[in-house]
Amino acid sequence: MWSRAPLLVLPLLSSHATAHTFIWGVFVNGVDQGLFTGIRAPPYNAAPNAGGYANSPVKNLSSLDLRCNVMGDIQAPDTIKVSPGDNLTFDWHHDYRNDSDDIIASSHHGPSIVYLSPDPPGENTFVKIWEEGLYESNPFPQPGKWSTTGDIREKHGKMNVRVPAGLKAGFYLIRAEMIAFHEGEVAYTKNPRRGTQFYPNCVQIEVVGDGTVELPEGVSFPGAYKEEDPGIVYDIYCSTETRTIPTAPCTTTYPIPGPTVWSGAWAETTAVPLSPIKGDTTAYPWSTWIVNSVVTSGSFTDRKHVTVVGTSTYKASWSTTYQTPAPGTRRW
């Protein structure tokens, strides 16, 4: 239940310029499904006028936020319908959904990974279906090329994956993530001011058709990644020109964390021609934000001001059975 809060009007930022990257849209076989359709977009981490941003990096590997980001148990009001073999293109952005957007900071080098799980997820249900890491390695101090910055950023935020062939009909969650190592040379538990940054985002899909292929056993989130695992704590500056005096032996190889890609996933995932973006390219003002597990809800008057209408204490509550999303407005 919401507890009533004092009436307060907050001016909004013209854009969430300090936002971190997250998925703004999904193309199915090149056709855009619309702004935030089927996407469990993370909320602001502060009031919209207080410099807050969406998709705060998750650094605590034991946090439930590592599954689908902050408040990831809350469904989007719609689900994207797909068939086995369909090409999906995730459209990651930072400020705006267009080619002028910078997608992710140029310093945020790291791998990109996509998992697939039945919806709702459970223990050991996330199966890796795509990954890309350090795809071009050069002798130190020449820079290498990383998925997040050298590929997806350069492709204006486009990440491509295919629905596995013959996949059994049903409801699934796609967990896509980008990982950034600009502060990842030390474990978060040893220095909470630094640590590897994880940007997970989940998309709701319904697979239709007469497929019979079931997902194998996968991994759990949290649980799939440990700080002692190869590829979790990593000195990214060994593969960029910014590291000039190594303090430890440098390596220009990188092991992508998590399990291997499932043999049932597509070996090749190629880009497809994309339709024009459907609808808005700028996010609506967000009416929900969360600080220290307290969720604040607001309503907008003229897209420039929000009136606070209530607060509630949030605790993640993942259902163990599928719940049909309630139709309505966007989550935030």
Question: Is residue 330 in some structural domain?
Answer: no
Q: Percent helix, strand and coil across the chain, each rounded to 5?
A: 5, 30, 65
> Does residue 268 register a pLDDT over 80?
yes
Q: How confident is the model at residue 95 (pLDDT cuts 50, 70, 90)?
A: confident
Higher per-residue confidence, 6 vs 282? 282
Residue 44: its pLDDT value, please?
Answer: 83
> Does residue 225 register a pLDDT over 90?
yes
Q: How confident is the model at residue 3 (pLDDT cuts 50, 70, 90)?
A: very low
Question: Is residue 323 in some structural domain?
Answer: no
Q: How confident is the model at residue 249 (pLDDT cuts 50, 70, 90)?
A: low
Question: Is residue 39 in some structural domain?
Answer: yes
Q: Which pair of structure tokens corresponds to residue 199? A: 């940007």
Q: What is the helix (H) or strand (E) element at residue 127, kind and residue range?
A: strand 127-132
CATH number assigned to the domain comprising residue 249: 2.70.50.70
Question: Is residue 254 in some structural domain?
Answer: yes
Question: Is residue 60 in some structural domain?
Answer: yes
Decide if 25 contacts 101 (C-beta within 8 A).
no
Decide if 155 contacts 145 (C-beta within 8 A).
no
Question: Is residue 198 in some structural domain?
Answer: yes
Q: Which of 16-20, 86-90, 144-148 has the lowest mean pLDDT?
A: 16-20
Q: Which pair of structure tokens corresponds to residue 148? A: 């997040």
Mean per-residue pLDDT of the chain: 87
Question: Is residue 6 in some structural domain?
Answer: no
> Structurally, how many domains does the chain consist of?
1
Q: What is the DSSP string of 54-83?
A: BSPPB--TTSTHHHHSTTTTSPPS--EEE-
Q: Residue 197 and residue 184: Cα distance in Å, rounded?
A: 7
Please report the sign of the dihedral spanned by the C-alpha atoms of residue 215, residue 217, residue 223, residue 224: negative
Predicted model pTM: 0.91
* pLDDT tens per residue across span 31-68: 999 999 999 998 888 776 666 677 779 999 999 999 99
Mean pLDDT of 151-159: 97
* pLDDT tens per residue across span 157-186: 999 999 999 999 999 999 999 999 999 999
Question: Is residue 153 in some structural domain?
Answer: yes
Decide if 216 contacts 127 (C-beta within 8 A).
yes
Q: Residue 133 and residue 150: Cα distance in Å, rounded?
A: 10
Domain of 125, in residue numbers? 19-285
